[in-house]
Amino acid sequence: MNLMLKEYDDKVIERMINKYFSKKEEEDPDPDQQRARIKQRNDDWEMYLQNKGEYVCMMQSRPFMLKSMQSIFVFDVAVGVSHCAALSREGHVYTWGCGDYGKLGHGGLWDVAQPRQVQALNKRRCIQIACGANHTLALTDNSMLWTWGDGRYGQLGHGTWQDCGLPCKVLNPESARQEHLKVRWVGCGDDFTAAITSENRMLTWGNGWHGQLGHERMVMGGEAARRKRSDVDQFFSRVPSLSLLTQTKQDNARGSAARTRSNAEDSKMQEILNRLKVYEGKMRCNLGYSPSSSTADDGRARARSLPQQVHLLRDVEVSKIACGSRHVLAYSADPPRVWSWGEGEGNKLGHGTCFDQYEPKLVQELEGKTVSSMTCGSMWSAVFLETEEAKVYGTLPFEMLP
């Protein structure tokens, strides 16, 4: 519930009183332990009273002006999970919020309570910004892309898996002279990045667990594929198999005349079996082998640390993209078509199913329709047409329902 600061402060104080003073102390025969518990309670209460700023989380029920930004004309705003970025009309980037992973771009991990200009980009004019869960992007007017923050999944595009506390430019992996990647539009999800180059090529990099990179399938043939499957099968040979657990459950059922089992125990065994099925399927995919594809020698790469073109869109001039937490929309104007891929939970891809899509797939309902803009959330996608019509897919939060 969104409350003003004073109301929320009163709520916290009331909770603290109920927690520490309203409940009757348990009888403890040891007076030393009882005194230690009372001392800890009093210390916690005093710390709260002396440092309200660290204990009270201010939540605003209505918009308010940032005093430090009153004299700055803000051109664009981007928001991550725990940090914000703003772009001024002059092309300066300001960031504030939680500073872990170096995602604020100030060279450290400290938090910043007020918008602060990113000094590393002070002499450059930025035209677009974007925020992932823990990383930040800035595109300059000379088509140069700068990234910083969390790099665990390669989402920074620097060819490493390391974090970066200062903006670093993304290089073109196909250039032998270490030239920067020429980009005209960017977007990012929680832990992946997507970009449209000056030649209208679609590039993605970062985490691709749900297929959000669009180029997950890697062909593996011959001896390499057989060796991959052998390694995976050898790994699962050391894990208790599902067939053994299933057989154990059947044996227990046959011996129920002599040894009764309650319904709760049977339900618990079935729950364990279901969890192990999901676990085994995910582990096999993560190790690069899916038992369902017995006729195809293929695996799935889960992360990329360098920009890579989306193979199925290599002959398509992509003009717009939109990124959700784990899915992507792409639009081409000639002819008008929309593709979507990534996590499919809640039918947010618009294909009529809830399955993950590992490669770009046309949204049949939008084929031939001119799109003016697109946007995505974590569980939904919205496409706005030039006919002033909006198509929304997925699961909408309660506060967004009409």
Walk along the chain (402 residues) and give the pLDDT tens digit of each residue: 334 455 556 666 666 666 655 554 455 556 777 777 677 767 766 665 555 554 444 555 567 788 888 899 999 999 999 999 999 999 999 999 999 999 999 999 998 989 999 999 999 999 999 999 999 999 999 999 999 999 999 999 999 999 999 999 999 988 767 788 999 999 999 999 999 999 989 999 999 988 999 976 544 344 444 444 455 455 445 544 444 444 555 555 555 544 555 666 666 666 666 655 555 544 444 443 333 333 333 333 478 999 999 999 999 999 999 999 999 999 999 899 999 999 998 899 999 989 999 999 999 999 999 999 999 999 999 999 998 899 999 987 655 545
pTM: 0.68
Q: How large is the angle between the packed helices 263-286 and 222-237, nearest 10 degrees?
A: 150
Q: Does 87 share its domain with 47?
A: no
Q: Does 191 share its domain with 323?
A: no
Instruction: Tell which residue, 89, 87, 91, has the closest CA to residue 78.
Output: 87
Residue 61: inside a domain: no
Q: Does 141 share its domain with 202?
A: yes
Q: Does 337 share its domain with 387?
A: yes
Count structural domains, the chain. 4
Whether omega before 397 lies within 30 degrees of 0, making that bond cis, reads: no
Q: Does 85 share its domain with 202?
A: yes
Q: Does 135 share its domain with 180?
A: yes
- What local confidence, expressed as pLDDT, does residue 398 receive? 53
Tokens of 50: 């002396």
Residue 212: inside a domain: no
Instruction: Tell which residue, 374, 357, 111, 400, has the closest CA to residue 391.
Output: 374
Residue 60: inside a domain: no
Stated as kind and residue range, the H or E segment containing 280 is helix 263-286
Residue 247: inside a domain: yes
Task: Mark which of 207, 233, 248 sits at the end of a domain.
Answer: 207
Residue 321: inside a domain: yes
Q: Does 40 share its domain with 90?
A: no
Domain limits for position 291: 222-300
- What local confidence, expressed as pLDDT, does residue 300 receive? 38
Q: Does 167 share its domain with 131?
A: yes
Residue 278: inside a domain: yes
- What local confidence, expressed as pLDDT, does residue 383 receive? 96
Q: Does 230 share its domain with 347?
A: no
Whether omega before 335 lies within 30 degrees of 0, making that bond cis, reads: yes
Q: Does 77 share its domain with 201?
A: yes
Tokens 């046959």 identify what position?
A: 254
